[in-house]
A and B are shown apart, each in its own frame.
Chain A
């Protein structure tokens, strides 16, 4: 092993199914707007990748307020996928986004398999888009509202349809609200996904005891933040051990140590979500902290630590 001196810059480059990242740190969809919102507070070009807010075929107004509530070490949200729709996204947001140096991944969502396919088709040739992430946590309206992400055959079908219309690197974002997430990962891998990202939010609820009312207008919402990290880490560990495609770890990552833990569990890259809200430049701190970690561990490349959690009797 090479000796790493304090002056050597460790190699942070990783590859996600054809997506070459300068470092493994990306921003999670829905927590970073369309990136421009953060442009005064951090250098976006230093990010490994940017994943912008989920885009649907038609604009969506989102859910009635209140939409968010803070919980112990986390928050619940029921934003309702408010977004400008794919056409306005291309026309209004891409002009600015295309100028960024970091790879841009667009998160897509739909009510039907056909909608996913149509959005992917419209985004396919747009300049400045480096990849797509499919949000399968949405209800399939045509199949009685069962979430695509909870039935392996439905998740595979969405993946196949999108795969057919684009050659862009394809990430499928998995929902943790399933009995067996490994089964979901295998299903989308078999359907042509280049990578899986996990986890999306855990479904939760908060009630105001005094008024006896739910704290969210939508009654239930998605839990995110440090509170969900152990669940996410476990799922990443299980999935990474069962699929051949790269895994992107998401769930409560708030500092470099958190990010490193996900890599040790088998993730090739990570996404930072809720932490962007309260510490807009946290991703930059995580990138710097990862370099420090590698120096301390005497490693030259971040790739050498992926999946190296010591679970056996190694010394």
Chain B
């Protein structure tokens, strides 16, 4: 397929490098396990050998919900965990509407129709790493943390996680602690860790000279980006939008970038914070 390519890949700009190697698959994936927590957070683990083999932290899949016309469109979900040994990936989401309710009602032996892995994920920047996650935005950061833990000592890195309350946050804390990380926490109601928002925790880790990776509600990420720009720290953000295709065809997943619109599905979902337009 790529017989004409003679380019030195080190000369290609990062975006085209990703596009160059990117290949997505459509897979019918048997569900291995599905769990639902007290706070309506659902974790589905599916067998997806092709996707699991090639997925990178920060990438996503498009999930077909049911097989009828309502809901019509696939839903984008970031890859929460990827187990290459067992050829499985996990998706984590909160039940918020019709689509997520239908997915939550599935059982082992059902299967999910997935397209992925899609988009441009996190790229490993200067160490140490600081992962800042809020609410369900923590989901893709776990895949990133697993890769970090596999690469180097977990001691150097910071994990800052926030959610509304202990019930929502505690399962995440257990997960990241399981990888060997020390986790710092913030909750809106003060039921676990710092009483306040997760970007507040950034103050406690400065001076810090590494890379910030963040995903969460937009106002939270805006706060993180603001602090990073004050401290001149490189920051990568994972964005979420509505999408019809996830393939770069519908052009529906637009956000305002530094110079004009960018498309979250193909140019993202992970962007250097400097490439996105913020109201700082």
Interface residues of A (CB under 8 A from B): 31-33, 37-38, 40-41, 53, 61-62, 64-70, 72-75, 77, 79, 82, 225-227, 254, 274, 276-281
With A65-B254, A82-B261, A280-B115 given, is the CB distance from A70 to B72 under 8 Å? Answer: yes
Q: Which 4 A-B pairs have the closest CB atoms?
A: A68-B252, A33-B249, A277-B245, A73-B69
With A61-B261, A70-B71, A73-B70 given, is the CB distance from A276 to B249 under 8 Å? Answer: yes
**In the complex, what distance in Å separates the CA atom of A258 from the CA atom of B210?**
56
**In the complex, what distance in Å separates the CA atom of A254 from the CA atom of B68?**
10
- Of B5-13, B22-30, B134-142, B175-183, the segment with at least 4 beta carbons within 8 Å of chain A is B22-30
Could you show 13 A-B contacts with beta carbons less than 8 Å apart? A33-B250, A37-B247, A41-B25, A61-B260, A65-B256, A68-B242, A68-B252, A70-B71, A70-B72, A227-B69, A274-B244, A278-B72, A281-B26
**In the complex, what distance in Å separates the CA atom of A254 from the CA atom of B254?**
26
Q: Is B73 an interface residue (CB 8 A)?
A: yes
**In the complex, what distance in Å separates the CA atom of A72 from the CA atom of B72?**
8
Taking a contact as CB atoms closer than 8 A, the residue among B23, B25, B69 that contacts A225 in the complex is B69
In whole Å, how far is B255's beta carbon from the nearest beta carbon of chain A? 6
**In the complex, what distance in Å separates the CA atom of A79 from the CA atom of B24?**
24
Size of chain B's interface in residues, with CB distance under 8 A? 29
In whole Å, how far is A81's beta carbon from the nearest beta carbon of chain B? 9
Q: Which of chain B's residues has its CB closest to A36's CB?
A: B248
In whole Å, how far is B26's beta carbon from the nearest beta carbon of chain A? 6
**In the complex, what distance in Å separates the CA atom of A274 from the CA atom of B252?**
12
User: Are B73 and A277 closer than 8 Å at their CB atoms?
Assistant: yes
Taking a contact as CB atoms closer than 8 A, the residue among A41, A72, A276, A279 that contacts B24 in the complex is A41
Residue numbers in A under 8 Å from B249 (CB-CB):
31-33, 37-38, 53, 276-277
Q: Is B74 an interface residue (CB 8 A)?
A: yes
In whole Å, how far is A191's beta carbon from the nearest beta carbon of chain B? 31
User: Are A278 and B252 closer than 8 Å at their CB atoms?
Assistant: no
Taking a contact as CB atoms closer than 8 A, the residue among A41, A64, A72, A277 that contacts B244 in the complex is A277
Give 7 A-B pairs besides A31-B249, A40-B24, A225-B69 with Cβ atoms closer than 8 angstroms: A31-B250, A61-B260, A70-B72, A277-B73, A278-B245, A279-B64, A280-B245
Interface residues of B (CB under 8 A from A): 23-26, 64, 69-74, 115, 241-245, 247-256, 260-261
Q: Which of chain A's residues has its CB closest to B70's CB?
A: A73
Taking a contact as CB atoms closer than 8 A, the residue among B26, B73, B74, B254 that contacts A41 in the complex is B26
> How many inter-chain residue pairs (CB < 8 Å) link A and B?
96
User: Are B260 and A67 closer than 8 Å at their CB atoms?
Assistant: no
In whole Å, how far is B73's beta carbon from the nearest beta carbon of chain A? 5
In whole Å, how far is A168's beta carbon from the nearest beta carbon of chain B? 24
User: Are A38 and B251 closer than 8 Å at their CB atoms?
Assistant: no
Residue numbers in A under 8 Å from B245 (CB-CB):
37, 276-278, 280
**In the complex, what distance in Å separates the CA atom of A292 from the CA atom of B25?**
27
In whole Å, how far is A36's beta carbon from the nearest beta carbon of chain B? 9
**In the complex, what distance in Å separates the CA atom of A113 from the CA atom of B115?**
41
User: Are A62 and B251 closer than 8 Å at their CB atoms?
Assistant: yes
**In the complex, what distance in Å separates the CA atom of A64 from the CA atom of B253?**
10
Residue numbers in B under 8 Å from A225 (CB-CB):
69, 72
Residue numbers in B under 8 Å from A41 (CB-CB):
24-26, 115, 247
Q: Which of chain B's residues has its CB closest to A69's CB?
A: B242
**In the complex, what distance in Å separates the CA atom of A280 from the CA atom of B64?**
11
In whole Å, how far is B277's beta carbon from the nearest beta carbon of chain A? 11
Q: Which of chain B's residues has its CB closest to A82's CB?
A: B251
In whole Å, how far is A51's beta carbon from the nearest beta carbon of chain B? 12
With A37-B247, A277-B244 given, is the CB distance from A77 to B252 under 8 Å? Answer: yes
In whole Å, how far is B157's beta carbon from the nearest beta carbon of chain A? 33
User: Are B73 and A278 closer than 8 Å at their CB atoms?
Assistant: yes
**In the complex, what distance in Å separates the CA atom of A69 from the CA atom of B71?**
12
**In the complex, what distance in Å separates the CA atom of A37 from the CA atom of B24?**
10
Residue numbers in B under 8 Å from A75 (CB-CB):
72-73, 244
Taking a contact as CB atoms closer than 8 A, the residue among A65, A68, A69 that contacts B250 in the complex is A68
